[in-house]
Amino acid sequence: MLTRKQHELIRFIQERLEETGVSPSFEEMKDALDLKSKSGVHRLISALEERGFIRRLPNRARALEVIRQPEDAVASATSKAAAPASLKMPESTPRPANDVIEIPLHGRIAAGVPIEALEDTQTLPVPAALLGAGDHFALEVSGDSMIEAGIFDGDYALVKRTDVARDGEIVVALVRDEEATLKYLRRDKGRITLDPANAAYEPQVYNADEVRVQGKLAGLLRRYN
């Protein structure tokens, strides 16, 4: 049987995953549970992980997955109503940890000088736990200009399809409707700069009407063979 704080934490993590597709930070969990330090959050997460309620996803920051809910989580409507709004039990069931889905694989994308983004009909099997809500596609990374962001040649970029992104986010940018590239997005005085994460490369600066955001980075897959 879980403690009250463990119940509250697993509810908060699941709700945030359903809302944003990203697990909350340790600071957010500390504040939501009214704990004095993040060490208390670490202890709660370790206890939940040991009991098989959550798991940490490897090679991803802030990556937690709710595997199962406590059996008594919805046993009492009174206790559910008494919980803070941000901690109420979600209605839907999380995906199984081993669930795999197929997403479109649209060729190779440059992490250096822009290259043509190939459109084909291949698909890539991806663990569902790596993806949040929304429509996703994959691109194979070509080049080394994002290595300081942990993105290497041959990686598969998992991209959430969107035409909206904030400054500082890693996006798939379509340049002049011809070439696509994976870079940090930065806007300044009507111009758009696509910044690499490698000191050997220069930023790419374009007029605002020359660049269209096609999606933003949601995750990475890497093969070691």
Q: Helix (H, G, I), strand (E, B), or coil: what is residue 137?
A: strand
From the candidates 30, 145, 160, 216, give the one annotated as an active-site residue.
145
Q: What are phi and psi of 63, to 5 degrees?
A: -110, 105
CA distance 137 to 210: 23
Angle at 55 between CA 49 and CA 57, to 5 degrees: 145
Say whether 145 is catalytic: yes
Give the number of other CB atoms < 10 A from CB of residue 224: 3
Q: Is 88 a catalytic residue?
A: no
23, 30, 160, 183: which is the annotated catalytic residue?
183
Q: How many CB atoms lie within 10 A of CB 208?
A: 11
If we measure between CA atoms, which residue out of 129, 91, 96 comes closest to residue 11? 91
Catalytic residue positions, numbered: 145, 183
